[in-house]
Amino acid sequence: MKVRSSKEQQRHQLERDMERYLSKGGKIKEIPRGVSGTDPVHSKGHQTVLFNGPRQPERTDLSQVAAAIDARKHKPRRQRLTPRPSRKLIYDDFGEPLRWVWHD
């Protein structure tokens, strides 16, 4: 397993590298705050392509397709051409069941 260095170790390593660069005669330019390090006019190097790339195709509305699939899941019930007769229970005056009668 690779041992990761802590932030403090990275900071010390960066300071050592800077001291080594300066001791060999290197110079560091100071750039004012808020100014970008790259010149957008004359720059031929790396440019970020945030919004210059190809546009993603627009999304297709699939609600109608989903509705058609759902409609196939639940088949509509067939209506009968002639209604089926039903039985009706007839009660007497005291609320007791008397007989069944077919009712159209």
**What does the block give as tokens for 5?**
């260095």
Classify residue 2: in a domain, yes or no: no
* Confidence at residue 10, expressed as pLDDT on a 0 to 100 scale: 94
**What does the block give as tokens for 50?**
């945030």
Q: Tell me: the pLDDT tens digits for 50-92?
A: 666 677 778 889 999 999 998 888 777 788 778 888 999 999 9
At residue 72's C-alpha, the angle toward residues 67 and 73, to 5°, is 95
Classify residue 1: in a domain, yes or no: no
Number of domains in the chain: 1
Overall pTM > 0.75 = no
* Confidence at residue 49, expressed as pLDDT on a 0 to 100 scale: 58
Return d(Cα 15, Cα 28) in angstroms, integer. 13
Q: Tell me: the pLDDT tens digits for 6-39?
A: 999 999 999 999 999 999 998 888 878 887 766 6
Q: Which domain holds residue 57?
A: 7-103
For the beta carbon of residue 15, count every other beta carbon within 10 angstroms. 10
